[in-house]
Amino acid sequence: MNDAERACLSELAGLYGLETEFYDGLGIRRTPPPEAILAVLKSLGVPLRDIEDVCPVLEDRRRERLDRVIEPVLISWDGKSLPMTVTAPEPTSGSIRVDLELESGEELRQALPWTNGQLQDQFDLDGTTFQRRTFHLEWEIPPGYHDVWLEIGPIQRRSTLISTYPKAFSDPTSQSLWGLFLPLYALHSKRSWGAGDISDLERLMTWTGERGGRFVGVLPMFASFLESPCDPSPYTPVSRLFWNELFIDPRRCRNWDHCPQVHDLLGNDAFQAALEQQRQLPLVDYREQIRLKRTALEKLAEDFFSTGGALSESYNDYLRSHPAVLRYAGFRAVQEKLGKRWSEWPDYLKNGHLDPQIYDRRAVEYHLFCQWTAHEQIAHLLRSGEKTGVGLYMDLPLGVHPDGFDVWENQDIFAHDISGGAPPDGFFTAGQDWGFRPLLPEASRQTGHRYLRSILKFLLGSANLLRVDHAMGFQRLYWVPRGFGAENGVYVRYPMEELFATLVLESQRRRCEIVGEDLGTVDPALRHQMTEHAINRMYVGLFETALHQDPPLRPVPSGMVASINTHDTPSFAAFWNGLDIEDRQQMGLLDEAGVAAEQEGRRQLREALLRYFQLEELPTPEETERAVLQAWTAQLGRSEAKYVLVNLEDLWLETKPQNVPGTSFERPNWKRKARLSQEAFESDMIVKQILEELNRLRIEKNEAKSFSDLENSD
């Protein structure tokens, strides 16, 4: 590659939002190889074969950006003005016309002299003089997604306007609260079928409220492949628009009492023995779990459709409000019938056509029944939570399964031959490949970010708090081209302001607070945007400890969502005992010298934390661990955190993680049940003691804040 081609490649990459230089998690400056940059550009739809095409394609890209005239997405943060930058030849008529069609159907029109726009730039191209001018249209624009039509002489362009609030929803009464976290599959009781369901979650929310807690956090509850293929990871769902039927409680289906077939099934000794075996397993056997639950749900679905349930008002209201469920059910039915990933289907099916002759009607009805039932049970869960004052803290995963419904249904907005991931850092020195297809930023913009809007509308309507996984993806995402290895990825920029505008608007519309997972390598610009728009940030104690700082545990800044750990980190007890160091050694991430250094550092950190919490070694290691856990939890309770999230498993000193990032078959990720059943931890005196103390400290914090606010108002 000569110097001219290298310069063209750098500019072309910049025009498509690629970062050709960046710092990884180790602080090392990285320059992706040109071949990786070319591969990412191809995935973005750039018509490149090899490096010789770069300079001609660069010229095409420059012209394409000029031909755009206005950006495909515009933002109004205050609803009173519409800033709009226009790049075009000076119009012969000397004016522009702007038509605004609101969501309501109302239309607004305005004509402006071209010279009213503030001149930003002027340049010549192919003998034509172009100007870039910024106009500020003064309109009363209601919140919503509106269509903007621009006309300059013969030029006509359309754009989506996101008119939104300056800040995300924030409940002024939600101060100094606490809640519990446990993955729903890990929650189990005597009545459950071997893994937690929505009824178990309701019981946990009620119990949490009785202790004084105000929310319960879970991992994503979206639909997953649990049969063939079987991929139970909540972070690679089949869809981010539909629920996982594993979490349905069959006994709370509407027709449970009137379905003799399902009662015959439950009365079968072999079925009961299979259920009991599932209850006794320490790990969730997803294939067998879904086989058993599906057997019951299929009988309920068959009864529902054969007895006229499809004519019910509730069911038809659901279909009207969730029209995509018909295609989702068809997709699942075809996938089950053919037993192949959709990329291996015949072309007409692969390209979006669903042929009723291919799939089994009963499979479609099963999935329709499950989605409607899950929708009803979660709606009931939320109503129950409103009565007890306990909310649901849900999770929005960054990606979806490449073989799932969302990618099949929206193939034009997902990248091909690319995975999302992360650059090298202290834990994963070769980087990470997460296996999902990233969204194409430009393609998403052309739709007005319709897919993201659909996800947020669906999920925010079922949550009181929403955690956005890897919030850095709103600014940029690390793309790993197929065959290049995670150490040779490329950062691709996303339209951060547009994505935040969408998030803020949906947050306000659904009255749901937002938490952004800003852990890892984070650009300060992202955190500035989060603060600007009232997106809550996260504080994780394990990441805030350091030997060479005073104190060894950084205090919690005001307004954070604070916890000791997350589902992706070691448990408290594993961290305290250095079990995560052993795990990293087993995965080949540390050599013997590295292990020795880490263990010595951890020993010194333990001593520093004991001094910080004003504790001494107690007669047994377990007593010491528990004393530190109680002190650390109390420290969070006294802190300036807006929310304190307690990992329920920490309270009985669990040492095994729910997930070890960077592993799949090597560890039983997303399968481990809680060591204590729901009945056991509800009656555990130590669990209740820790939570009672936390609740007392949070109440004191609230009272002190209320008194301070009263004094300041005087």
* Structure confidence by residue, pLDDT tens digits, 633-646: 999 999 999 999 99
β-sheet bridge partners, residue 159: 148
Q: Quick one: average pLDDT of 555-577? A: 96
Angle separating helix axes 313-321 and 325-338, nearest 10 degrees: 90
Residue range 325-339: average pLDDT?
Answer: 96
Instruction: List, in sequence order, every residue forming a beta bridge with 130; answer none if it has no partner.
Output: 89, 123
Bridge partners (DSSP) of residue 705 are: none
Collapsed DSSP state (helix, strand, coil) of residue 170:
coil
Given this model, what pLDDT does residue 427 score?
75
Would you place residue 430 in the very low, low, confident or very high pLDDT band (cuts 50, 70, 90)? confident
| Per-residue pLDDT at 605 exceeds 70 | yes
Share of the chain above pLDDT 90, in %: 84
Query: What average pLDDT score do residues 691-714 get?
Result: 79
pLDDT at 713 > cutoff 70: no
Copy the structure tokens of residue 495. Answer: 């339209």
User: What domains are defined for the chain?
Assistant: 3-65 (no CATH), 78-163 (2.60.40), 177-536+642-708 (3.20.20.80)
Judged against a pLDDT cut of 70, whether residue 709 lies above it is answered with: no
The three-class DSSP label of residue 229 is coil
Q: Are 181 and 646 in contact (CB under 8 A)?
A: yes
Q: What is the pLDDT of residues 245-290, one digit of tens each?
A: 999 999 999 999 999 999 999 999 999 999 999 999 999 999 999 9
- Whole-angstrom Cα distance, residue 260 to residue 310? 19
The tens digit of pLDDT for each residue in 337-363 reads 999 999 999 999 999 999 888 899 999
**286-306 helix and 361-388 helix, angle to the nearest 10 degrees:** 100
335 has pLDDT over 70: yes
Predicted local confidence at residue 540, as pLDDT: 97
Query: Average pLDDT in the 160-164 region?
Result: 98
- Residue 252 CA to residue 37 CA, distance in Å, equals 53
